[in-house]
Amino acid sequence: MSSEPEVLARIESGVGRVTLNRPAALHALTTNMCRLITAALLDWRGDDAVHCVLIDHAGERGFCAGGDIRMLAESGAGDGKLAREFFFTEYRLNQLLFAYPKPVCAVMDGVTMGGGVGLSMPASVRIATERTTFAMPETGIGLFPDVGGGWFLPRLPGKTGLWLALTGARIKAADCARLGVATHFMPFDQVADFKKALAEHPGSLVGALAHFVDDAGPAPIEPHLADIDRLFGGASVEAIFADLEADGGDWALAQLATLKTKSPQTLKVAFRQLSEGGALGLFADNMAMEYRIGARVVQRHDFLEGVRAVIVDKDNAPRWDPADLAGVTPALLDQIFAPLPADEEWTPLT
């Protein structure tokens, strides 16, 4: 086990620096990491010496690949206590970032998935590089696009957020910029100089950015935006399947084939999650909804089976239960989304 701290938190020249430091695990978040980041942000919130916050990662392999999925599955196979503790702590961090009173800049270099999305999407400045790969791949492991996905994804242009949530599609920098996932594009070889400039002028994040941002180029998703809005605009997951099949084009059939590999339960959970989250007025209410979902889904068959198939045995042949969309009934969804007992509900930090 490494003796290195999982998070490097320090103040450098007026910048609160948070560096994820678990490179062997692609900086997948642990409960301890969430606590360390939260503690630093709380310390800096009222510190006049800290003008802004910069979140980045150590090493070369990626920003953050998600959460500690193996721990979640091991806990979910038992009493689920540690999994619920992780979600509770992580979601409080997401809320803290969302409402943070100082500018936050996330450098989304490399893999940015799951928990990494939860760290970056609340930031006021989100930098993508040519190495960025952004995705919410949870439908493939029977989880759901959490960490604020119910808030951020339905607020992306058209139905692109729903498309990302259901298919788990991976997008690169130009698409991130086109959809607003990233606020800026910066060539990777400029990132170090940007950080130096920010340290020299910590009170002017916008000014530091101006010297290093660039055009991400044409977005590969552009020709498909109208198709996404048309084919992912149905009133149910079943309607989306039917529209894709009826279209019959190569792109539509490729999306349908992808969806057929995903957990039917998660597809319907994500559809309802984004529908409800898109109508909410408070980010905290979305996180409370997601905690209810997470507290239950982590102990259900599809998550445990998805982790087995994709991460443990790597046979990529999950046996979902229910096996089809028809088996995921409104009553089942109501159980997953229902309020928890009052003393078990999620609450934001005060």
Q: Which of 56, 68, 146, 305 is catalytic?
A: 146
pLDDT band at 2 (very low <50, low <70, confident <90, very high): low
Indicate the SS3 state at residue 9: strand
pLDDT digits (tens, 9 = 90+) for 81-116: 999 999 999 999 999 999 999 999 999 999 999 999
pLDDT band at 202 (very low <50, low <70, confident <90, very high): confident
For the cut 70, the answer to whether the pLDDT of residue 141 exceeds it is yes
Q: Which of 62, 76, 115, 150 is catalytic?
A: 115
User: Can 146 be counted among the known catalytic residues?
Assistant: yes
Enter the DSSP assignment of 309: I
For the cut 60, the answer to whether the pLDDT of residue 324 exceeds it is yes
Residues 280-290, mean pLDDT to the nearest whole number: 98
User: Can 115 be counted among the known catalytic residues?
Assistant: yes
The pLDDT value given to residue 57: 97
Residues 324-348, mean pLDDT to the nearest whole number: 98
Q: Which of 67, 114, 168, 277 is catalytic?
A: 67
| Percentage of the residues of the chain whose pLDDT score is greater than 70 | 99
Residues 323-347, mean pLDDT to the nearest whole number: 98
Tokens 């109501």 correspond to: 334
- For residue 175, give Cα distances in angstroms to 120, 146, 153, 186, 221: 16, 21, 14, 14, 6
The pLDDT value given to residue 111: 96
Closest by CA to 259, choosing from 147, 162, 117, is 162
**DSSP strands (E only) in the chain:** 7-12, 15-20, 52-57, 62-64, 104-108, 111-113, 125-128, 133-135, 184-185
What is the distance between the alpha carbons of residues 93 and 32, in angstroms, rounded to a whole number?
Answer: 12
User: Can 6 be counted among the known catalytic residues?
Assistant: no
Q: How many CB atoms lie within 10 A of CB 207?
A: 11
Q: How many CB atoms lie within 10 A of CB 142?
A: 29
The pLDDT value given to residue 250: 97
pLDDT digits (tens, 9 = 90+) for 11-70: 999 999 999 999 999 999 999 999 999 999 999 999 999 999 999 999 888 999 999 999
What is the distance between the alpha carbons of residues 283 and 264, in angstroms, rounded to a whole number?
Answer: 26
Domains of the chain listed by start with CATH number? 7-344 (3.90.226.10)
Q: In this structure, are residues 182 and 287 in contact, taking their beta carbons and an 8 Å threshold?
A: no
Question: Which amino acid does the sequence have at 283?
Answer: F
User: Can 12 be counted among the known catalytic residues?
Assistant: no
Tokens, residue 118: 């939860």
Q: In this structure, are residues 18 and 205 in contact, taking their beta carbons and an 8 Å threshold?
A: no
What is the distance between the alpha carbons of residues 159 and 153, in angstroms, rounded to a whole number?
Answer: 9
The pLDDT value given to residue 345: 98
Q: In this structure, are residues 174 and 217 in contact, taking their beta carbons and an 8 Å threshold?
A: yes
Tokens 């029977």 correspond to: 142
Q: Which of 6, 138, 175, 305 is catalytic?
A: 138
Query: Which residues, at least 6 apart from 271, have a Cβ–Cβ distance to it below 8 Å?
Result: 162, 165, 166, 236, 237
Question: Which amino acid does the sequence have at 343?
Answer: D
Tokens, residue 98: 């969302």
Closest by CA to 134, choosing from 149, 113, 155, is 113
